[in-house]
Amino acid sequence: MRSVHDRSSRGEGTAVGVDVGATLTKCALREGDASPRFTLLASDSLDQAARWVAEAAPDSVGLTGCGAPTLARLLSLDTAPVSEFDAWRSGAAELLGPEVSDRYLLVSVGTGTSMMLVDGAASNRLGGTALGGGTLLGLGRALLGIDDFEALCEQAARGDRWRVDLSLADIYPRPNESPLPADLSASLFARLGRPGSGPFAPEDVAAALMALVGENVAIIARTLAAAARVERLVFCGSTLRGNPALRAVLGKIIGLTGRPPEFLENGEYAGALGALLVAASARP
C-alpha cells in the first residue's frame, strides 16, 4: 500500500486506462484535472504495459480489451474490468466534447471492426466485420513483404489503386451508360486478372488493400446506420492512425449519403480513455 507521502508526490487522483487489443495496447493517463496523456505499446509485450501502469502509481486502473485479464494478472494493483462497449462509448463522448449528440453510430476500426449504436448513456453493438488492421497487416505481408503498419500506410498514400482495381468507368466507357457514378469500384483487384493490364507498383497494391478494407467497412456501416435511422457516423480505432488512404476511402463511401464521417482526434485511444473514466467514476 502506498503511503500518504507517495500519494502526494505522484499527485492525488491519478487515473489510468488501458485497452489491450489483439495488436496494440493503448494507454491513457490523467493526473488530477489535467488533460489525459496517451501512450501506444505493442500487445505482444504486456510486461512493458504492466511496468507503465505501475510507474504511474494510479489511484484507479480501468482495463478493457481482449488482453485485459492477462494484464490484470501481471499487476499488483486493484483493477476494474470495463466492457469494451462501455469503454468506447465513454471515451468517444469525452473526445467529441461539446459536439457529442444523443445518437450516432460509433465505428471502431482495430484489428477487426466493431460498430455500435450510441444512444445517450446506452450503447448496443449492431454488428461489424472481421476486416480491419489485422487484414491489412496480413495481406501486406503476404503480397508485399511489408511487416510494419506505418510503412504500409506510407506506401498506400503514394499509390494509385486504379492500377489494381476496376472502376465503373472501366466497364462502362460511356459515362451516361453507367447506373452509378463512374468513379466507384466495379471490382476490387480485378484489373490484375485482365490480360495485358498495365504496370503496377507495390504502393498501388497497398492503396488497393486500403480500398478493400475501407469500402467494405463503409458499406456495412452505412447499412447499419440506415437500419438504425442514424445519420451521424463517428470513426475511431488504431487502424485509422496515420492512414490517410483508408480515411479517404471511408470518407468517399460514407459521404455518398450526404453527411461525411467524423474521425475522432486521438480516436485510437477511445477505449483506453473510456476505461479510465469508468474506473475513476467508480472509485470511492
Residues with catalytic function: 84
Let me know: does 206 contact 146? Beta carbons within 8 Å: yes
Helix, strand, coil shares, percent, the chain, to 5: 45, 20, 30
Write the DSSP symbol of residue 239. Answer: G
Let me know: does 159 contact 184? Beta carbons within 8 Å: no
Residue the block writes with cell 467497412? 217
- 72 contacts: CB under 8 Å, gap ≥ 6: 63, 79, 81
- Closest by alpha carbon to 62, among 44, 36, 35, 101? 36
Helix axes 244-255, 149-158, angle to 10 degrees: 60
Beta bridge partners of 63: 18, 81
Let me know: does 213 contact 132? Beta carbons within 8 Å: yes
In angstroms, the Cα distances linking 251 to 33, 63, 218 are 35, 31, 8
> CA 199, CA 189: separation in Å to the nearest integer?
13
Let me know: does 211 contact 249? Beta carbons within 8 Å: yes
Q: Which grid coordinates belong to 154?
A: 506510407
